[in-house]
């Protein structure tokens, strides 16, 4: 190899070595808000119904409403009625780095709380309990998980379902063939096109895709015996004061019944932009969490 | 630095490193297979572009304009999602039944080969046009067929001329394989993304992928340089010392 080649390798290597593993922001969120008089919410552009863009391209949703309640509490506690609230769009790859480095103070999306993520961020008490389900083509003749034997399924790249599907396949010896589509939209396209007979993903996401699909009636949801997944709002790690404030607001809403009203508004009524209704009644697991709010994961 | 690669994956026993290496395998397989098709098809279309037969020239021009001007990501999308729907339903169903990962590999290979072939064709055409016109006439005057003239006289020279640009093209096809992740092929970039989604070690995951791409490109560069030297017509070398203009004062000072 020539001198230039070696130089190029050295340059890139040096760049990578010098790169910080994320500039860590200090944990004191309330102090930061007080000093800068601004608070930044992170929202998702299409995480229905938690946080998404409405017809006017404004972020709305279940998690956004909860976040507004937290903002109100922050204003009151810091005595800052003129607090400026910024909204920043985040996606599934950058949401954690942006919370960690201090760009976003609260992520108001639908993010699953798990042990790997807890190493980097912390979560409020659970605001939603999800469970992975199979969305199955009615014409595939699949009535129970065992019927999937030897069939082709689809999962979304980077989703937790990738691991679940693999474990499920190994445990039940189903010889599944797996397509990994780029995002949820393409997973649905793969299922609609008939390349796969079933799609494994969180129940609420599947309900949204099914409600949105032109021929939603030709798909059915099928349980697969997977563990529950707890969603929460994402906060910076090791900031007990701010987490206490956020948890207090959510627990208060759960106690007064305001949380149930919000749930009805976003999960069981027509929502913008097209007036789609998810018809997703509250699960028993979520009822338990409303009775005794907690950020525990099973 | 890259310790995340030596952690075991979520819900499994293997290391994240094996994911990255599996991705590398698909990247290399797709790029090499794609290059074989693209090179052969590119030469054929490139010759057709300079053909004296009007119909052949127009047909090849059409091919180049269509496949060079549509973004590769759109082409792959069309081959993967749209082709099975427009084929007769039985054939479409058969295409959809191809088991993964071949069900995504083949459309990716098709898209990548046709796209790259259009680009190679234009370079072959440029190489042929760079030759003095007289060569074509002389070979015909000696009794060669048009095919013979291309095979024995024009192409061997043209391909030598365009070696440097073909090097870029081979490097390009290695990088363009990453587009295949959009139709679900788990090549190198897809695996780096996946590792990032599971571990949130963005710099490590993409840093490792970056280094692997760089090494791939440098390997390609080395191999192409070797081929270039190997096939060079003796006396045509352009060595460093020959670049200097004789009697140029500055050059004389620079080279002792």
Residues B99, A177: C-beta atoms closer than 8 Å: yes
| pLDDT category of residue A283 using cuts at 50, 70 and 90 | very high
User: Which pLDDT tens digit goes with each residue over A164-193?
Assistant: 999 999 999 999 999 999 888 899 999 999
Q: Which two tokens stand for residue B188?
A: 């190198």
pLDDT < 70: residue spans in chain B? 237-256
Calculate mean pLDDT across residues A226-232.
93
Count of domains forming chain B: 1
Q: Is B1 a member of any domain?
A: no
* Residues A36-83: tens digit of each pLDDT: 999 999 999 988 899 999 989 999 999 999 999 999 999 999 999 999
- Tell me the average pLDDT across A251-265: 96
Query: Can you give the CATH number for the domain in which B158 is found?
Result: 1.10.3720.10
DSSP state letter for A215: T
Close Cβ partners of B246 (under 8 Å, ≥ 6 residues apart): none
The answer to whether residue B7 is domain-embedded is no
Enclosing domain of residue B166: 15-254
Phi, psi of A231 (to 5 degrees): -95, 145
User: Is the CB of A8 less than 8 angstroms away from the CB of B218?
Assistant: yes
Tens of pLDDT, residue by residue over A67-126, are 999 999 999 999 999 999 999 999 887 888 899 999 999 999 999 998 888 988 999 999
Q: What is the mean pLDDT of chain A?
A: 90
CA distance A166 to B13: 12
Q: Does A12 touch chain B (CB under 8 A)?
A: yes
Q: Do B197 and A96 touch (CB under 8 A)?
A: no
Residues of chain A contacting B96 with CB distance shorter than 8 Å = 193-195
Which tens digit of pLDDT belongs to each residue from A16-28?
555 444 455 556 8
Which element (helix H / strand E) includes A12? Answer: helix A3-18
Distance CA A269, CA A275 (A): 8
pLDDT at B200: 80
Q: Is the pLDDT of residue A136 over 50?
A: yes
In a domain, B120, yes or no: yes
Q: How far does A148 lie from chain B, in Å, by closest CA? A: 15
Residue B5 lies in a domain: no
Alpha-carbon span A253 to A293, nearest angstrom: 10
Q: Taking 80 as the threshold, does the pLDDT of residue A133 lie above it?
A: yes
CB atoms within 10 A of CB A139: 10
Q: Is residue B9 part of a domain?
A: no
Residue B41 lies in a domain: yes
Instruction: Pick the range with the lowest mean pLDDT from A86-90, A142-146, A244-248, B234-238.
Output: B234-238
Mean pLDDT calculated for residue range A269-292: 92
The two most distant CA atoms of chain B are separated, in Å, by 75
Q: Return all residues near B231 (Cβ < 8 A) that are at least 6 apart.
A: B160, B163
Quick one: average pLDDT of A208-236?
91
Q: Would you call B171 an interface residue with chain A, using a CB distance cutoff of 8 Å?
A: no
All domains in chain A, ordered by first residue: 29-129+229-291 (3.40.190.10), 132-223 (3.40.190.10)
Residue B10 lies in a domain: no
Q: What is the pLDDT of residue B255?
A: 59
Q: What is the residue-wise DSSP string for B149-200?
A: IIIIIIHHHHHHHTHHHHHHHHHHHHHHGGGGGGGT---HHHHHHHHHHHH-
Beta strand pairing call for A152-156 and A177-181: parallel
CA distance B185 to chain A (A): 7
Residue B233 lies in a domain: yes
Name the residue among B81, B203, B221 with its Cβ closest to that of A189. B81
């Amino acid at each position: 190899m020539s001198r230039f080649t070696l130089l190029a390798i050295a340059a890139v290597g040096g760049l990578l070595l010098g790169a910080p593993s994320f500039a860590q922001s200090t944990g004191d969120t309330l102090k930061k808000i007080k000093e800068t008089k601004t608070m930044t919410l992170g929202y998702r552009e299409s995480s229905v119904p938690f946080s998404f863009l409405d017809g006017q391209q404004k972020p709305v949703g279940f998690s956004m409403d909860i976040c507004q309640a937290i903002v109100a509490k922050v204003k009151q506690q810091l005595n800052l009625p003129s607090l400026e609230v910024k909204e920043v769009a985040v996606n599934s790859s950058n949401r954690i780095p942006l919370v960690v480095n201090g760009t976003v103070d609260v992520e108001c999306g639908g993010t699953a709380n798990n042990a790997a993520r807890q190493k980097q961020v912390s979560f409020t008490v659970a605001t939603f309990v999800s469970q992975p389900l199979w969305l199955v083509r009615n014409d595939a003749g699949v009535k129970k998980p065992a019927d999937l034997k030897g069939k082709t399924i689809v999962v979304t790249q980077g989703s937790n379902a990738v691991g679940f599907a693999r474990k499920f396949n190994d445990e039940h010896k189903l010889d599944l063939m797996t397509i990994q589509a780029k995002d949820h939209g393409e997973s649905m396209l793969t299922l609609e096109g008939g390349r796969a007979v079933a799609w494994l993903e969180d129940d609420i996401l599947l309900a949204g895709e099914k409600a949105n699909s032109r021929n939603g009636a030709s798909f059915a949801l099928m349980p697969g015996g997977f563990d529950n997944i707890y969603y929460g709002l994402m906060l910076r790690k090791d900031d007990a004061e701010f987490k206490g404030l956020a948890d207090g607001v959510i627990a208060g809403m759960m106690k007064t019944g305001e949380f149930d009203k919000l749930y009805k508004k976003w999960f069981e009524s027509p929502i913008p932009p097209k007036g789609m209704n998810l018809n997703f009644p509250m699960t028993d697991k979520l009822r338990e969490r409303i009775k005794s709010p907690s950020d525990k994961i099973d | 630095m890259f310790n995340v690669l030596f952690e075991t994956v979520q819900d499994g026993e293997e290391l994240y490193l094996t994911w990255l290496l599996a991705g590398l395998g698909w990247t290399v397989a797709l790029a090499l297979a794609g290059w074989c098709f693209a090179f052969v098809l590119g030469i054929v279309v490139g010759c057709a572009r300079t053909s004296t037969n009007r119909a052949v020239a127009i047909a090849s021009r059409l091919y180049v304009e269509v496949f060079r001007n549509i973004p590769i990501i759109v082409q792959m999308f069309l081959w993967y999602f749209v082709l099975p729907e427009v084929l007769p339903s039985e054939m479409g169903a058969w295409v959809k039944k191809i088991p993964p990962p071949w069900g995504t590999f083949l459309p990716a290979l098709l898209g990548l080969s046709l796209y790259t072939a259009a680009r190679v064709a234009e370079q072959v055409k440029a190489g042929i046009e760079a030759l003095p016109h007289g060569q074509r006439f002389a070979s015909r005057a000696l009794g060669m067929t048009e095919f013979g003239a291309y095979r024995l006289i024009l192409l061997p020279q043209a391909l030598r001329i365009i070696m440097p640009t073909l090097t870029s093209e081979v490097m390009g096809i290695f990088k363009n394989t990453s587009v295949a992740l959009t139709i679900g092929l788990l090549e190198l970039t897809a695996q780096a993304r996946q590792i990032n989604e599971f571990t949130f070690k963005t710099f490590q995951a993409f840093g490792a992928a970056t280094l692997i791409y760089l090494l791939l490109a440098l390997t390609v560069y080395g191999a192409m340089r070797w081929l270039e030297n190997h096939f060079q017509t003796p006396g045509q070398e352009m060595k460093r010392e020959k670049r200097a203009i004789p009697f140029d004062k500055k050059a004389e000072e620079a080279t002792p």
